[in-house]
Structures are given as structure tokens and as C-alpha cells.
Amino acid sequence: MGYSLKMMLLAFLSSSFFATKAQVFTIQHAVDQAILNNAQINQMRSQLKQKNEAWRMQSGISSPEVSYMKEGMNGKTADPFQEQRLTVSQTVDFPLTTSYRLKALSEEGKAMEFAIKAEERETKVGVKTRYIEVLYALHLQKLREQQLKLATELYNAVYTQFETGMGNGMDLTKAELQVAEANNDIDDARRQLHVARYGLFNLMGLPPENQKYTIQFMDTLQSTDVDISQIQALAVLTDQPLYKSSISELSASNYFLKEAKSNILPDIRFNLYKQDYGTGYNFNGFEVGLSFPIWYPLEQKGRINTTLARQDEIR
């Protein structure tokens, strides 16, 4: 294998190696990572899952009860009266109360969904701001490097003139100051880049071991003047997730208030019997009972007042 061919192969492998090592972050990748790793958003998603399953525990249907009863057992009489009974009992809340409760839970779920969207938007804005700061710091560092290069070239030219006796000490001093200022400026630019990079990494939730200097950033942003009038801003106000979340929260509190007030309606209890009067379980029985909330003022007054206070808070 010729020397030139070996060098070409080595250059190709080296470029491939560094290409695989270099990691490029686009602005969309940064946004996706930040939303995926955001602790607040993940916590809200977990709360949403809980709210979506809450209706199963608050359906207003109690667990059925099975009971056995036997009476008339008297071995001293010749023909004692005997009865056996198997009973299945089921208690349910009044249907209107259950309906209000389930609607309130549904509205709470919608409110949480809109709140998650609002939080995602806030995260997206924060990431884009940090990303732009990184790009600005990168451009600033390049400009400062060019400034240092020009200041150094100027200093070398002035120093050459000074050595040949064609310049004076004042010009040399000015050139030295310009080089010193250029060095200070480039140090400041590097500091800004350092702060911007790690601010973006932290917002993305990137682990410290993955916060490497080899990470590159795609500069595909363009600036465009956007003129939004007050009328346009107000027109889309009702479409904002945070606004919709507040509306759903208010709707949920209204349903919870109706549920609390509807608890004055009785709960319903159903009993189904299989009866045996000594000849087998040949008879059936059915019973319906109503549970009237005579302690309604004590039980529900606090809940009603709490719901009213929650409505005032949302408004």
C-alpha cells in the first residue's frame, strides 16, 4: 500500500472518528430534551394520570354486601317457624350527585392538560432564549478573536516601526493597550459562552457527564420583525392554554359546588333476597331504601364554603 493511500485512509478514519464524537444540538432537539426532562412537567403528567383514574374511585357505587340470616330456630316446639335468607345489598349515590362529581373530575383533567401545555410553552420559550444566547456568545467570541488578531497585527507593525526608529513610544503604548483590551474582551466572551452553554444544558436537564465541549450548535436562526397589535393579542387570548386551564378549573369548581348541594338528595340502597321457609330457596324478595342526609348542614356546609372560596381564587 502506497504512502499516499495510507495517509488518505488515515485522514478518512480520523474524520469519521471525530464526526461520530461531535454531537450537534439543534434548537428542536434542545426543546424536546428540556420538555422530556422537566421535573415540573413530569410531575404534572403524573397528576394528570391520577385525575384520569379518579372517577373509578368516586363513581358513587359502593362495594356490594352479601349477608346470611336465619331465624325461627326453636327445637323445643313441634313445628318451629324457620326462615333462611341470602341477601345481596348494593348502595349507590343519587345519580345526579354522581353526574356532577364525574363532570367535575373531567373538567379537572382538562384543566391539568391545558396547564401542561402552558408549562411546555414556557419551557420552550426558555430553551429558545438560552439557545439564542449561546449562538450570540459564539458569534461574539469569533468577533473578539478577530479583534485580538487585528490588535496583535497592529501592535507588531507599531513595534517594528518603533524598533526602526520610525515610531514613537506613545503609539506603542496605545497598541499594547489595545491588545490588552482585546484579551479582556475575548475572556469576557468566553465567560458569556460558558454561562450560556451551561444555562442551556441545565434547562435541558442534561446530566453533567454529558455536558461536553464537543457539543456543537446549529446556527439556522433568522431574525424577523413581528408586529402584533393589541387587538390581535386580545383576539387570541382565549386560545391560550393557561386561560383555558383557568376556565376548566372554574367549571370544575361549579360542578363540585353542585355536587355538594345535591348531597341533600338521598342515597339509594337495593337489597335482593333469596328466601327459604323450610322448603328450599324458592322465594325472592326485593327491597329499596333511601338514606336521607339529616346531618347535611354539618357534613356539606364546609365543603360548599371551600368550593366557593376556590371559585373566588380562580376568578
Quick: pLDDT tens for 152-197. 998 898 888 888 877 778 888 898 899 999 999 999 999 999 999 9
Q: Model confidence at 17, in pLDDT bands (50, 70, 90)?
A: very low
233-287 confidence digits (pLDDT tens):
777 778 899 999 999 999 999 998 898 888 888 899 999 988 877 777 788 889 9
46-81 confidence digits (pLDDT tens):
999 998 998 888 888 888 999 988 877 665 655 566
Backbone phi and psi for residue 25, each to the nearest 5 degrees, phi listed first? -105, 115
Our CA dihedral for 139, 145, 151, 155, rounded to 10 degrees, sits at -170
**Domain limits, the chain:** 3-74+83-314
Q: CA–CA separation, 278 vs 9, rounded Å?
A: 100
pTM: 0.74
What pLDDT is recorded for position 221?
62
What pLDDT is recorded for position 74?
62
**Class at the top of the CATH hierarchy for domain 3-74+83-314:** mainly alpha
pLDDT at 45 over 50: yes
Q: CA–CA separation, 56 vs 315, rounded Å?
A: 30
For residues 139 and 133, the answer to whether their CB atoms sit within 8 Å is: no
**DSSP code at position 264:** T
- The share of the chain scoring above pLDDT 70, in percent, equals 85
